[in-house]
């Protein structure tokens, strides 16, 4: 699998968050509803806060009931932006992310299928053979969706070298 390793200092994720059902395939209705709930004021504040790489709106997931190993239970999902700011406007959650090493997996193809298949391969294949292991279960991704339904996406997974 294609990937690159990125060392990234501490930052925060600023956005809207909710507990949502775990869903491995297709559009998650709870995440779609979360996206629709974002107000214009929240969008403007997120745009103002977007000051560190990747400078994109991201989807972050963590705190899974099953550690992302099975399609059951819930996880915490945030739609927001990476920022080094220490405060965010009203109605936005601010989640601390420590300095970590990230394995970044680019992918391109039909959306969201290609990104979901890449995520499954990270957990089922890549982690079994790579010299890395997960460093917590917080991950994030972004997708640049095109008019034809395809997208360029990146999945950022925190890792550390195996000992």
14: left (phi > 0), else alpha (psi -120 to 50), else beta?
Answer: beta
pLDDT above 80 (res 95): yes
Taking residues 148-157, what's their average pLDDT? Answer: 97
Q: Which long-range contacts (CB under 8 A, 24 or more apart) does 149-152 make?
A: 149/110, 149/111, 150/108, 150/109, 150/110, 150/111, 150/114, 151/108, 151/109, 151/110, 151/111, 151/112, 151/114, 151/115, 152/106, 152/107, 152/108
Grade residue 139 by pLDDT with cuts at 50, 70 and 90.
confident
Domain of 44, CATH number, reads 3.20.80.10
- What's the total number of domains in the chain? 1
Q: Are 73 and 39 in contact (CB under 8 A)?
A: no
Q: Are 37 and 20 in contact (CB under 8 A)?
A: no
More confident residue, 80 or 70: 80
12's CB contacts (< 8 A; 6+ apart) are 82, 83, 84, 85, 86, 88, 94, 95, 96, 97
pLDDT above 70 (res 62): yes
Range of the domain at 25: 4-161
Q: What is the C-alpha R_g of the chain?
A: 15
Grade residue 72 by pLDDT with cuts at 50, 70 and 90.
low
Calpha distance 114→119 (Å, rounded):
9
Lowest mean pLDDT among 4-8, 115-119, 129-133: 115-119
- pTM value is 0.89
Q: How many residues does the structure list for the chain? A: 163
pLDDT above 70 (res 71): no
């Amino acid at each position: 699998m294609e990937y690159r390793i990125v060392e990234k200092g501490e930052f925060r994720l600023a956005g809207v968050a909710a507990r949502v059902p775990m869903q491995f395939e297709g559009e998650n209705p709870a995440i779609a509803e979360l996206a629709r709930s974002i107000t214009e004021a929240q969008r403007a504040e997120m745009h103002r806060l977007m000051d560190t790489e990747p400078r994109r709106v991201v989807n972050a997931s963590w705190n899974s009931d099953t550690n992302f190993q099975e399609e059951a239970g819930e996880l915490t999902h945030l739609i927001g932006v990476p920022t080094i700011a220490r405060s965010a406007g009203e109605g936005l959650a601010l989640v601390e992310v420590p300095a970590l090493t990230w394995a970044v997996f680019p992918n391109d193809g039909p959306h969201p299928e290609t990104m979901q298949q890449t995520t499954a391969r990270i957990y089922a294949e890549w982690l079994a053979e790579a010299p890395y292991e997960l460093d917590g279960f917080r991950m994030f991704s972004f997708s640049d969706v095109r008019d034809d339904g395809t997208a360029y996406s990146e999945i950022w997974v925190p890792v550390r070298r195996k000992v």
